[in-house]
Amino acid sequence: MILQVVTWGGSLALRIPADYALQAGLKEGSWVSAALTVDGGISIRPLKWDRATFAQGLERPREAMRMTQSVTEELRRGARY
């Protein structure tokens, strides 16, 4: 996702899309940890990661996926001779 950096007072700010914030368990007033990475990037992580909220965010895409035969089983059958 491409985000635009904007000025907010004397600082720079990013607006986090609602679905990203929901999956990360962020809401107004949440605290995050920001760090510079060795490749010049910025890593932003919630101070308190909510595993349950993250898992709930994964349910919708999982429900949309069709359940088919296991790829692992298919590969195992093909490897047998």
Neighbours of 52 (CB within 10 A): 8
Q: 81 versus 26: which is more confidently predicted?
A: 26
pTM for this structure?
A: 0.52
Q: Report which of residues 78 and 23 the model is more confident about.
A: 23
User: Which residues, including other chains, have CB under 8 Å from residue 13's CB and lie 6 or more apart?
Assistant: 5, 6, 7
> In sequence order, what DSSP letters do the residues of 10-52 get, joined into one string?
TEEE-PPPHHHHHHHT--TT--EEEEE-TTS-EEEEESS--HH
If phi > 0 it is left, if psi is from -120 to 50 it is alpha, else beta; for residue 29 that is: left
Domains parsed from the chain with CATH numbers:
6-79 (2.10.260)
What is the three-class DSSP state of 61? Answer: helix
Give the pLDDT band (50/70/90) at residue 80: low
Q: What is the pLDDT of residue 65?
A: 75
pLDDT for 77 beyond 80: no
